[in-house]
Amino acid sequence: MRSIALPKAKRVSKDKPFAIASRRSPLAMAQARQVQAMIARAAGVSRDDVPVQDYVSTGDRNLQGSLADIGGKGLFTKEIEEALLNGAARFAVHSMKDMPAESPPGLVTAAIPAREDPRDVFISFVAKTPWDLPEGARVGTASVRRAAQLLARRPDLKVVPLRGNVGTRLDKLERGEADATFLALAGLNRLELEGHATAVMATDEMLPAVGQGALCVQTREDDDEARAIAASFNCAETSACVIMERAFLTGLDGSCRTPIGGLALIEHDEIRFEGELLSLDGKERFVARRRLAYGEGCAMEAGRLGAEAAKELRDAAGPDFFKRLEG
């Protein structure tokens, strides 16, 4: 196994392994096991020295209503971050799209590994695409983004709440609680359930959530060894793209109550970004695009352009738009 050069720091003893904190859901555990292999390779240890400790998050315990109604994104990270802060774990693995804009004091994003496919998928037993659904069909989702994007083109459809992990939502769909739903392709791929997808949504049909398909590996700020290990498998391209997307989200003060999509991709040595802001019913839509030559040290400029795109949309939408969202 490959070892990396580490800064001077106290080495981990056999009785203090490189523990990972993760949500308990099957998808979260699959993601944690991917990172477990990366850490073991980078540190030159066995997987036994990188145990995965699972936690039930507040968001997983409360499956009633939308995320906005029960407190937002931080409900999926709170218990995991507490495990880092109290020393129960040295790494935490999150879905990047679940991460709030700011990490708690004392924690840092130490790595963003290479991204999975960021697109959404449509799943239904009654139609091949969302646009083929019969009038008045029920589409289950807890995402205000997906709901708004859907209603923008199919205002006749009925959006119904559908929450839970991937398996739970597939089971609910099979039981007829909805006629269709949407999931992230990245999650299906990581669970080897991509065969359940009825159709993969093009990004011009459904722009993904900010950070979708990317992982966040978090450590304590003062754990130099853990930070160096994580940095060894950080993907510079994915990081630059995610920095631009999250700067866009932060600039819009995005929450689970705000329908926002954003995706940055590298094509022909250039980061190409598109972001959108919608009303809850999809009737209003504002779009911003940016381009940036990709190269070493471009992350700061990527963040600046993401924030600039957010300001463009805030100005275009106007203060009354955001008051209506809050009301």
Q: Which of 15, 48, 69, 98 is catalytic?
A: 98
Mark whether 98 is an active-site residue: yes
pLDDT of the residue at 15: 52
State both tokens at 297: 């040290």
Residue 154 tokens, joined: 């199919």
Residues 6+ apart with CB under 8 A from 172: 140, 162, 164, 178, 181
The token pair at 238 is 């994915």
Strand partners, 265: 272
Bridge-partner residues for 20, per DSSP? Answer: 52, 91
Token pair listed for 174: 């099979």
- Residue 299: other Cβ atoms inside 10 A: 16
pLDDT in tens, the chain (327 residues): 333 443 333 344 445 589 999 999 999 999 999 999 999 999 999 999 999 999 987 766 655 555 555 455 567 788 999 999 999 999 999 999 988 877 889 999 999 999 999 999 999 999 999 999 999 999 999 999 999 999 999 999 999 999 888 999 999 999 999 999 999 999 999 999 999 999 999 999 999 999 999 999 999 999 999 999 999 999 999 999 999 999 999 999 866 789 999 999 999 999 999 999 999 999 999 999 999 999 988 999 999 999 999 999 999 999 999 888 876
pLDDT digits (tens, 9 = 90+) for 116-131: 999 999 999 999 999 9
Q: Can you tell me the distance from the alpha carbon of 322 to that of 238, in angstroms, rounded to the nearest whole number?
A: 30
Number of H helices, E strands in the chain: 11, 13
Which residues pair with residue 55 across a beta bridge?
23
Distance (Å, whole) CA 18 – CA 230:
11
Distance CA 228, CA 9 (A): 10
CA distances from 78 to 60, 84, 112 (A): 11, 10, 19
Determine the pLDDT at residue 12.
Answer: 41
Which domains does the chain carry?
20-113+214-234 (3.40.190.10), 120-200 (3.40.190.10), 242-326 (3.30.160.40)
What was the pLDDT predicted at 212?
Answer: 97
Specify whether the CB–CB gap between 181 and 137 falls below 8 A: no
Residue whose tokens read 């400029």 = 301
pTM for the whole structure: 0.89
**Residues in Cβ contact with 212 at an 8 Å cutoff, skipping those fewer than 6 apart:** 96, 97, 118, 120, 184, 186, 263
DSSP-assigned states of every residue in 132-156: GSPTT-EEE-S-HHHHHHHHHH-TT
